[in-house]
Chain A
Amino acid sequence: MSDTLLGRISDTLWRNPRLLIVALLAPPVAWLGIIYLGSLFALLAQSFFSIDEFSGLINYEFTLKTYGELFKAYNLDIIVRTVTMALAVTIGAAIIGFPVAYFAARYARGPWKALFYLGVMLPLWSSYLVKVYSWKLILAKEGILNWLFETLHLSRLLNAYLSLPIVGGNSLSVSTTGTFLVFLYVWLPFMILPIQASLERVPHSMLEASGDLGATPVQAFRTVLLPLAFPGIIAGSIFTFSLTLGDYIIPQIVGSSRRFIGQAVYQYQGTAGNIPLAAAFAVVPIIIMGLYLWWAKRKGAFDAL
């Protein structure tokens, strides 16, 4: 073997396992280090510059002035709105996702399991934009949801809901509730799959043992199933939370005119040409996710990893 070139290479790698590790890791590390982290630090650096209000030119001197901008009421509003939305979407996805994941992990076998994966993954195979626009049609005043409410003679209920401040609007498709529903739909698979994976690792005997020792189903859920599924819920919530924090397309298409962080970044770096403020806004989700991960770690979410 060792007389051919490939043979000699494989012999060398076998004798020097470290060389193999280096060869395998070099390309991804270069990618992460240069392209990914490089652009992240470029972004961070931008956020410490400021913009000259008269000329519109970037002033390349270190300042915290741009971060100060974030604390102005109308910018703070955007941050609070986005974080609230991300929290609501995460909680909603966990509540809807858990039973689905539980069914899949505990009961689905053979073709049912395949159907589950197909059902969860199918929406991910179609274009994100198409999904969002179809939701706009569903939620529109002339849409199927409105029609359904009319047919059931519940229009008054829907209108009463839409007249509420903050969550309401002219129709569902231009309300914050609409934004919430679309976020929930689009990110739900990212919550279901990690929970299902974590529940898959809980042997059924664990729940039987809990019941055997006197725990009612509710107690068994609280003291055994939920703690054991917690790492999966956290993993899913990291997806739903961070994806919602950073998205700018969904609130653009479905929702009120009140902006989210993603839209602010998009506008400041585009039309407004205020790259420093856009960068400072982009740092906000990073910090929030950092805090969130720190909290999750303290809660023991990563102990089972």
Chain B
Amino acid sequence: MTVAVKFSGVSRHFGKVRAVDNVDLDIAEGEFFAMLGPSGSGKTTCLRLIAGFERPTAGTIEVFGQNMGDVPPYKREINTVFQDYALFPHLNVIDNVAYGLMIAGQSKSVRQKAADDALEMVALGGYGLRKPSELSGGQRQRVALARAIINKPKVLLLDEPLGALDLKLREQMQEELKVLQKQLGITFVFVTHDQGEALSMADRVAVFNEGGIAQIATPHELYLHPQTPFVADFVGSSNVLPAPFVKKIVGASYPASLRPEAIQISSQGHAGVVRSVNFLGSATRLSVQLDAVTLTVLCPLSDSVPNIGETIYLSWESADMHVMEGVNV
């Protein structure tokens, strides 16, 4: 495995704010890597550090083995799809897409051909002469993508590229991005705050919290075995059972995660009072209070739904409870 991007003890502090604090990270060549976290968790700063828009306060960043310490953005073989797309308003779509080639001094005919191909790839053939202001949000997003891949970068950075799109378009673009990544074989580093997006698209996900990485794992691993209460809550919307509660059941004094869909309503088990009922379509989400703990329960469509205030009994397989042994209580 070739390491495409390597962070060693990287920090980026803005005055007293530790935006990124002592991060170690390896991203493999050809990987679709997601950086997931709430806003302000440091994921975007990490992306900007890779692009070179920010310089680390401490630590080193290597891209394909080369130390990036003194390499300015324009000398890096890395391209970015910006959150606001950052299309040049004074240039038409062709000139936007071909900008990188124009800077590299390519001839007009080469630029035209490459830009046409890139636009074809993002299904925007025939839009070349329009100005960015004449495009819809989804189309702009595709132009930004075409512009970023035309230089054939070694690493493509995507900063919440789907954030401004509506749900339907977002799901479509998620598919297309995955296909495109396989087709190009470029390493993708994708920043998002949408856990569903990260889980469905990425080969591996780094979960960011307060400037550090809480966990790096495959989506499957992350969902089934969150290592910290934060990851359990943020990634899977899992229930986090506090240590005293867990101790009563399995004896270990650590918090544990329990996914909402692993809990069944049954005739016996843990008694609790239904506090809220939300119909989600494919399931109904219940909030059930058990003494000191409130659990979220997903109740399949076929089941009969209890009423608010009703006392019900909950049970689950103890194997579905994942004790987070690495966490200090």
Contacts and interface: CB of A to CB of B under 8 A. Distances in A.
Interface of A: 203, 205-206, 208-217, 219-220, 223-224, 227-228, 300, 303-304
A214 B84 contact: no
B104 A205 contact: no
Interface string B81-93: 0111011111000
Contacts of B80: 208-209, 212
A209 B90 contact: no
A224 B86 CA distance: 11
A210 B51 CA distance: 12
9 contacts: A205-B83, A205-B84, A208-B80, A209-B80, A209-B82, A212-B148, A223-B99, A228-B89, A304-B90
Interface string B46-89: 00000111000000000000000000111000111011101111
Contacts of B104: 214
B86 A209 contact: yes
Nearest to B77: A214
A208 B82 contact: yes
Contacts of B86: 203, 205-206, 208-209
B225 interface: no
Given A220-B74, A303-B90, 13 more contacts: A205-B84, A206-B86, A211-B52, A212-B53, A212-B74, A212-B78, A213-B79, A213-B99, A214-B74, A214-B151, A215-B74, A216-B74, A228-B88
Nearest to B159: A205
B319 interface: no
A200 B149 CA distance: 29
A213 B84 contact: no
Which 5 A/B pairs are nearest by Cβ-Cβ distance?
A209-B86, A213-B100, A205-B86, A211-B73, A211-B74
Contacts of B73: 208, 211-212
Interface in B146-180: 147-148, 151
Contacts of B51: 208, 212
B132 to A, nearest CB: 11
Contacts of A300: 90
Instruction: Bin chain B's interface residue count.
Output: 20 to 34
Contact of B88 (A206, A219, A304): A206
Contacts of B103: 213-215, 219, 223
A109 to B, nearest CB: 14
Contacts of B147: 213
A227 B90 CA distance: 7
Contacts of A209: 80, 82, 86-88
Contacts of A214: 74, 100, 103-104, 151
Contacts of B72: 211
Interface in B190-228: none
A213 B74 CA distance: 6
Nearest to A230: B90
A219 B75 CA distance: 13
Contacts of B74: 211-217, 220
A228 B79 contact: no
Given A208-B82, A211-B73, A213-B100, A224 B88 contact: yes
Nearest to A219: B103
Contacts of B53: 208, 211-212
Contacts of B79: 212-213
Nearest to B131: A303
A212 B80 CA distance: 7
Contacts of A223: 99, 102-103
Nearest to A215: B103
A303 B88 CA distance: 14
A292 B79 CA distance: 41
B5 to A, nearest CB: 16
Nearest to A206: B86
A213 B82 contact: no
Nearest to B76: A212
A219 B102 CA distance: 10
Contacts of A220: 74
A81 B188 CA distance: 61
